Amino acid sequence: MSGQENAKSAGRCVIFGGADIGNYEYIKSRLKSEDFLIFCDSGLKHMQALDLKPDLIVGDFDSHENPHLDVETIVLPCEKDDTDTVFAVKEAVKRGFLEFLLLGVVGARLDHTLGNVYILEYLSGLGKRAVIIDDYSEMRLVTPGHPASIGGDSEFFSLINISGLAKGITITGAKYTLHDAEIKSEYQYGVSNEVLPGETAEVSVDEGSLLLIKVRRQ
């Protein structure tokens, strides 16, 4: 591995899936020049609009033609356990990336959307930081010792327990506050909270994990 590749692998890996992206300008504003870019199969449809060149292409090419670019490409079989996106994530983990940004992974296919949301749990279990961004929101996990702030361009937010029992939940700076509360995966009452005007909401959890969905101001 070259020195340049070592520098990139110590930073952030951005993975593009095939779900639609409506606001390319916003996506461009969230990218960094040093990001390592992986495009997964039909995620290649975003390449031209974003004016980006992949560092790695991954896919079985059942939904997008292999562009045969002068870029490292991993061709996968169509019949496999991992989706193209999950394979890309695992490949990036092998290459030592610490931080992940997933784009084009939330959309009309609920099955793929849910599977991709659980990538956040997979990466959290490996001690990695990961965020999903779509046209309306930003998603990340809140875990013990890693609280989150909501403010700036976010007015509404939701906390969803996607596994087991989350305990010791505290929310401050919001319309609906909590202190040492619990949210079970079978009863989601943390949907559609509001950041108080002029405030920054804070969320923390002592046990378990919560999916934080921050809805951007439109």
161-209 tens-digit pLDDT = 998 899 999 999 999 999 999 999 999 999 999 999 989 999 999 999 9
| CATH for 142-216, options being 1.20.140.10, 1.10.540.10, 4.10.140.10, 2.60.120.320 | 2.60.120.320
Bridge partner residues of 204 (DSSP): 170
Q: Structure pTM?
A: 0.91
CA distance 197 to 41: 42
CB under 8 Å to 129, separation ≥6 — which residues? 98, 99, 100, 123, 140
pLDDT tens-digit map of 16-34:
999 999 999 999 999 999 9
Q: Domains of the chain: which residue ranges?
A: 3-135, 142-216
CATH superfamily of 3-135: Thiamin pyrophosphokinase, catalytic domain (3.40.50.10240)
On whether the CB atoms of residues 72 and 53 are closer than 8 A, the answer is no
